[in-house]
Amino acid sequence: MPNNELNILVLRQFESAQSLAGRLFLNLHVEFQRMHASWLAQSGAAAKRGFDIAASFSLLVLLSPLFALIAILVKIEDGGPLFFTQTRVGQFGREFKMFKVRSMCLDAEQRLKDILEKNRHKEGITFKLKDDPRITRVGKWLRKFSFDELPQLYNVLIGNMSLVGPRPPLPREVSKYSLAHRRRLAVKPGITCIWQISGRAEIDFSGQVQLDVDYIETQGFWVDVKILAKTIPAVLSGKGAC
């Protein structure tokens, strides 16, 4: 809007505010704009949630034969449980139980302290190791194609997660966050995100945070669709898996 038109508009609003009726009209106008913005935000969230429910339920049904095959392979290898649950931090810092197919040996958590110094992420907040000795033979295959993440479709169905959003961190990771890092907790965490299709574990923590913030600032239905579409070839390629 040109400066002259803007000045005229401001002047008219100032003149209107000089009367009781004018002030009432301006207050109603501001309230209408506030309600309109709130409706747009809520309708977008409702659409995202509706899509999450429909897609996660459909995928859980369609992928049930794959789940059965994975369950047999995991049981054959070491006889341990199929699922691994872990406390993660979700939107606004709320903790929840995230589900994964177990891809590590039964004492993986106890052995973690012995390999922390080999962390590929030098900032020390997140932990990634290329050839983690705790991963089982079946687990290597599951992780390469992210099949171990499939149970998180249930987290999406019950509302802890979304299909697209920043990956949910561990509480010990969040305890090391700066205020800038905590911006990634502003939205519901997801199964896939921008950095999952841009290099996965090869991207360091700071790079992951920046990509998550970029997503939060530009998120929308079609942005999510594009990320989901790019996730399939990224996962099948196995590039950056860890």
CA–CA separation, 240 vs 237, rounded Å? 9
**Cβ proximity of 201 and 229 under 8 Å:** no
Pick the residue with more confidence: 171 or 126?
Answer: 171
**Which of left, alpha, beta for 85 (phi over 0: left; psi -120 to 50: alpha)?**
beta
| pLDDT value of residue 59 | 95
Cross-strand bridge partners of residue 135: 104
pLDDT reading at 42 higher than 70: no
Model confidence at 16, in pLDDT bands (50, 70, 90)? low
| pLDDT value of residue 7 | 56
| pLDDT value of residue 22 | 61
Stretch 133-148: mean pLDDT:
90
| pLDDT value of residue 241 | 59
Q: Other C-beta atoms within 10 Å of 75: how many?
A: 13
| pLDDT value of residue 116 | 67
Show the tokens assigned to 86: 């872990």
Task: Give SS3 for 114.
Answer: helix
| pLDDT value of residue 5 | 62
pLDDT reading at 72 higher than 60: yes
**Cβ proximity of 189 and 161 under 8 Å:** yes
Stretch 131-158: mean pLDDT:
91
Mean pLDDT of the chain: 82
- Give the model confidence (pLDDT) of 153-201 as tens digits: 999 999 999 999 999 999 999 999 998 899 999 999 999 998 888 766 6
